[in-house]
Amino acid sequence: MAAMSLLLRAAAAWGARRAAGGSARLPWAAGAARLPGTVAPVRYSSHGKRMFIIKATNFYDARFLSLLRFYIFLTGIPVALFITYVNVFIGEAELAEIPEGYVPEYWEYYKHPISRWIARYFFDPPEKNYEKHMALLDIEAKKTDLRMTELEARRLMRQRGDGPWYHYETPDKNLIDNSVKSTPDN
Amino acid sequence: MAEGRDRDVYTEPSPRTPAVPNPVTFFQAFFSYVVDAPVTFVREWIESRQAKNKFYYYHQKFPRVPDLSECMEGDHLCFFEAEAQWRRDRMVDQQIVEIVRERLGACKQREGPNQFQNCAKEIEQLAQVTKAYQDRYGDLGVHGNARTCLMKQKHRMIEERK
């Protein structure tokens, strides 16, 4: 603001000098290239003329950035404080050799205390995951085997004709009534 | 040569202008009082608090399971375990190559202009390790698994037999 008023004052002084020597110069260059507040040299009591500056609004931008900062820091600052507390007062684990005869729990393979806590209370042990995976594979493998054997059995029964499938029951030939065609005149 | 010069044998020449103090010592003292000492103090305070209840983490040791070549045909569970073990072994081999490469880099940095003579052991070791890695895991591609690796080994053995 102060620089703006200094600039306007300098421009007003320059304009005053220009106007005073304007008769010696070209007449059409007298009123060219002026700042809006410096058309006529005037003495103002305050810091330059009060200007109504017309520019595009930054209300929405400022509001957006303010809201963004608010919502990020709303949870960001507590989380940062918590993580700082954990790092300073609890600290990370130290690497050690597995002692003889000791089987570490599955969360004791992580370094950071928050990772250990999450692994211990939220996630399943990786052994359980592994076994679940193997159980699914086992079921699928058994299904595949059964389907392959079924296809093989079908193929053989169709080929040999001695199994219960591809075997259509026909009535006994003793049940056929031949009296319809037994005389030549029917 | 790596552990510093013997000061009695290689004496430094006496400085010619002892009256002018070295400005570097001033900056070193400034750094050590303004930055180093407070940071070290805070760090040691934190570590003294953490040393009261220490806890440890370990590197997981996986028990060995039968290899892919020892699995019966159609035993998909055995295939799965052998595949998992093969992937772990491949990761270990990748880390081995990385460590040997870092050793060579450290040796070159340490020796400077003498690297071509003094780092010969590290260069030889890196060449052997990368050749072994390339032979075993080399052109399997991104979809390489234990089965393709076994087939590659089979082909290598056939080539050797010829």
Q: Compare CB distances from B50 to A91, A110, A137 and report the shortest one's residue.
A: A91
- Inspect the interface and report whether the beta carbons of A137 and B76 lie closer than 8 Å: yes
Exposed/middle/buried for A151, CB within 10 Å: 0-12, 13-18, 19+? exposed
For Cα atoms A101, A105, A107, give the angle at the middle one, nearest 5 degrees.
145
Percent residues over pLDDT 70 in chain A: 85
Establish if B52 touches chain A: CB-CB under 8 angstroms. no
- Sign, CA torsion B100/B105/B107/B108: positive
Within its chain, how far is the Cα of B45 from the centroid?
A: 32
User: What integer best gives the mean pLDDT of chain B?
Assistant: 90
List chain B residues with CB under 8 Å of A88. Answer: 46, 49
Six-digit token string for B12:
């430094």
Establish if B77 touches chain A: CB-CB under 8 angstroms. yes
Q: What is the pLDDT of residues A69-121, one digit of tens each?
A: 999 999 999 999 999 999 999 989 999 999 999 999 999 999 999 999 999 99
Q: What is the pLDDT of residues B87-100, one digit of tens each?
A: 999 999 999 999 99
Alpha carbon distances (Å) from A79 to A14, A74, A87, A112: 59, 9, 12, 16
Round to whole Å and give the CA distance between A34 and A15: 8
Q: Which of A2-11, A134-143, B38-47, B130-139 has the lowest mean pLDDT?
A: A2-11
Round to whole Å and give the CA distance between B133 and B95: 11
Minimal CA separation from B81 to chain A, in Å: 9
Assess whether pLDDT exceeds 60 at residue A29. no
pTM of this prediction exceeds 0.80:
no
Q: What is the pLDDT of residues B113-162, one digit of tens each?
A: 988 998 999 999 999 999 999 999 998 988 989 999 999 999 999 999 98
ipTM, 2 decimals?
Answer: 0.71
- Sign, CA torsion A140/A146/A152/A157: negative
Six-digit token string for B15:
């400085």
What is the three-class DSSP state of B56? Answer: strand
Establish if B60 touches chain A: CB-CB under 8 angstroms. yes
- The confidence score (pLDDT) of residue A21 equals 58
What is the three-class DSSP state of B138? Answer: helix
Length of chain A: 186
Strand partners, A95: B57
Minimal CA separation from B83 to chain A, in Å: 12
Q: Compare CB distances from A104 to B47, B58, B77 and report the shortest one's residue.
A: B58
Q: Compare CB distances from A134 to B57, B61, B77 and report the shortest one's residue.
A: B77
What is the three-class DSSP state of B20? Answer: coil
Query: CB under 8 Å to A97, separation ≥6 — which residues?
Result: B58
List chain B residues with CB under 8 Å of A130. Answer: 84
Q: Are A144 and B79 in contact (CB under 8 A)?
A: no
